[in-house]
Homo-oligomer: A and B are copies of this chain.
């Protein structure tokens, strides 16, 4: 009872740059949807795990290495791909800003970051996949500390605040936000400052993953 169903993975990779959430897309080289933009992805090889497939495809197609990856949803409508029955396991990943530079140095004219407010037309059902990923990202940052994965390892509080404000689509009160996050006890305040040209230099913070896992084990939950 062998199936002719084929299996692919797709990866929605988010970044954060200049106050905008961005997503990594590739320009397709072949039909169908030749020269159209699409979420990176491809077929799974027989001996690799799903996550390995995602990391491999991303690296092959865009040269990028992600630092957070989770499974999003599996899309399997019979008519979603004109080539036949193709089921795709979609993932979503996050990269730190330094990945942008890394990426820029590779030869990948067919891969590009787009602000999620200015998306091109997408291939297949990739619009639907991307929209689901955005929803997931928006809701997930409120109950898991994944926002840090979009920032540099050391970041000023204002960056975190701006990120949340962007993702949630509303202003967040600086004082209340800081109180809340500091109260969660998962940030280390460093003895470093950074200046953004003008204004008082900001203290740098760093996410303490060890402490987070410790607290999580104790049943203390992250919640914004």
List residues of A whose CB falls within 8 A of some B CB: 1-7, 43-50, 71, 73-74, 76-78, 85, 87, 89
* Contact residues in B for A48 (Cβ distance below 8 Å): 78
Nearest-Cβ distance from residue A49 to partner chain B, whole angstroms: 6
Which has the most chain B C-beta neighbours within 10 Å: A43, A76, A78? A76
State in angstroms the CA–CA spacing of A189 and B92 once bound together: 43
Contact status B74-A3, CB under 8 Å: no
Contact status A3-B87, CB under 8 Å: no
With beta carbons under 8 angstroms apart, the residue of B4, B5, B45, B89 that contacts A74 is B89
With beta carbons under 8 angstroms apart, the residue of B2, B71, B76 that contacts A50 is B76
Nearest-Cβ distance from residue A125 to partner chain B, whole angstroms: 13
* Contact residues in B for A85 (Cβ distance below 8 Å): 46-47
